[in-house]
Structures are given as C-alpha cells and as structure tokens.
Amino acid sequence: MKSLFIVFEGIDGSGTSTQANLLKEYFITQNQAAILSPEPTTGVIGKLIREAMQTAIIPIQDKKKFDEQMAYLFAADRHYHIYNDVDGVLKLTQQDHCHVITTRYYFSSLAYNCNTPEEFQFVSQLNAKFPQPDVVIYLDIPVQISLKRIAERQLKEVYENEEKLNHVRENFIKNFSEYQGNKLIINGQDTIENIHQQIIQYLEVQF
C-alpha cells in the first residue's frame, strides 16, 4: 500500500481520535509506518488556536467575525501542517513513506467557520491550494449523542454547544454529499470495533 494521507472528520465527540489511533496501530502491526498528525497542530499557530478555542483571548464578540478570524488561523496552521520541512504531511508521505492520519482538515473549516454561501466561498478560497487527502472518513452522529459524550470533558471549547453543533453537522452532511474525492461515511453510533473494521476493509479494497 502506498503512503496515504487520511483525514478523519466529524462533530465533537464523534470518535475521530479513537478511530485515528486504532488505524495508526493497525498500520504498525502491518509493518507500515504511520503517524498521527491532528489539527490544530503543535506549532505556534496551532497552540494559539487551541488557546483561543478554550479561553476568550480573541476580543471579538461577533460570532461571524470570530469564525472568520478562526478560518484565517486554521488556514495558516494548515499551511504549516502540510508544508513544514520537519514533519509536514508532504514530507512524511512522499519522502519518509509514512501514512499520515489527521483528525480535522479543511473540511472542518468549511463546516465550523461558514454560516452563509458567501462565507463558504471565502473559506473555500482560503483552502483552495491545499492538497486533497487520499481519503476522508466522516463519522456521523446526532448532536444529542455528541453533547452527551462531550459533557464529561473537563475543558470546554467555544463551539461545543447545541446550536453550533447542529449547524456544523448540517454543513458536514451537505459538503460531503457534494464532495467528489474518496470518502467513507460511517454511522458513528456503531461499535468502536465495527467502525474500525469498516475502515480497514475500505482501505484494503480502495488502495
């Protein structure tokens, strides 16, 4: 199997981190190099994003303006994620022959930072030059399940509320219905093992 760039997407609590970890371990058992490289990254901009998502360090009360600024930050962090010369996605997949698995990519920006067609166009343009992943795996769960799963988290993020998550899920569903690249859409309410097996079977057939 060639080195793959694999993206996991879903609303908060959908299980993307769990499945990303399981997939990494599966590749390793198959003697294939694999690394988890989530967004936001651990770079300077990524750390700023994580802080902004958990504390009010960006003095903007207007939610739409806040989304716009976050879209800029995510795009800048994404550029670092793809192109940096130490552990960038392109270096790892093309030079180091390593699978790169990320939770969140530009699909999340299109879901979380867009409220109107004009904003969708703006965010799409910000992300237009980033490479397509080899496959994107979307784990779909109802918002009520999401809220139950994230209720136990100690650190809450700014987007973890029912109104926002409903809008984000609608964006994900619409966007993936139109996406022409390789995609696997899975019911995130299935068991962890069943979801993992669906992912492996898809990758074995597709690649």
For the stretch 157-174, what's the b/e string if a residue is b when 16 or more beta carbons lie within 10 angstroms of its beta carbon? Answer: ebbbeeebbebbbebbee
Q: What is the pTM of this model?
A: 0.94
How many structural domains comprise the chain? 1
pLDDT in tens, 24-57: 999 999 999 999 999 999 999 999 999 888 766 6
Does 131 sit behind a cis peptide bond, omega within 30 degrees of 0 on the bond before it?
no
User: Phi then psi for 7, rounded to 5 degrees?
Assistant: -115, 130
* Tens-digit pLDDT profile for residues 81-128: 999 999 999 999 999 999 999 999 999 999 999 999 999 999 999 999
> For residue 29, what is the domain's CATH number?
3.40.50.300
3-state secondary structure string, 56-106?
A: CCCCCCCHHHHHHHHHHHHHHHHHHHHHCCCCCHHHHHHHCCCEEEEECCH
Q: Pull the structure tokens for residue 7.
A: 């993206």
How far is the first Cα of the chain from the last one, in angstroms, to the nearest whole number?
6
Half-sphere exposure for 20 (CA within 13 Å, toward CB): 26
Domain carrying residue 148: 5-206
Using 50, 70 and 90 to split pLDDT, how confident is the model at 166? very high
